């Protein structure tokens, strides 16, 4: 699995582009670990993962949102 962080400091936003196919729990674990290593947290109960390729947008101190396939 590859996670690419695209920082946008002016907006305080980090975009993660992910392309993989695993069950929801594994995705949650991988994303949480990745963000914690970057001193960010994902709030539970927000994320839904039904796409093989999607965009996760994390705004500092706010919940994540999941976009459509890119």
**What does the buried/exposed string (b/e) look like for 28-66 if buried means 16 or more CB atoms within 10 Å of the residue's CB?**
eeebeebbeeeebebeeeebebeeeebbbbbeeeeebee
Q: Is the pTM of this model over 0.95?
A: no
Q: What is the pLDDT along the chain (70 residues), one digit of tens a residue?
A: 444 444 444 443 333 433 333 334 444 445 555 545 443 434 433 344 433 334 444 433 344 444 433 3
Domain ranges of the chain: 4-66
3-state SS assignment for residue 7: strand
């Amino acid at each position: 699995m590859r996670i690419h962080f695209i920082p946008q400091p002016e907006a305080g936003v980090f975009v993660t582009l992910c392309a993989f196919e695993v069950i929801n729990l594994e995705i949650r674990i991988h994303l949480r670990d990745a963000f914690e290593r970057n001193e960010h947290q994902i709030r539970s109960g927000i994320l839904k993962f039904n796409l093989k390729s999607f965009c996760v947008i994390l705004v500092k101190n706010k919940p994540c949102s999941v976009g459509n396939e890119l």
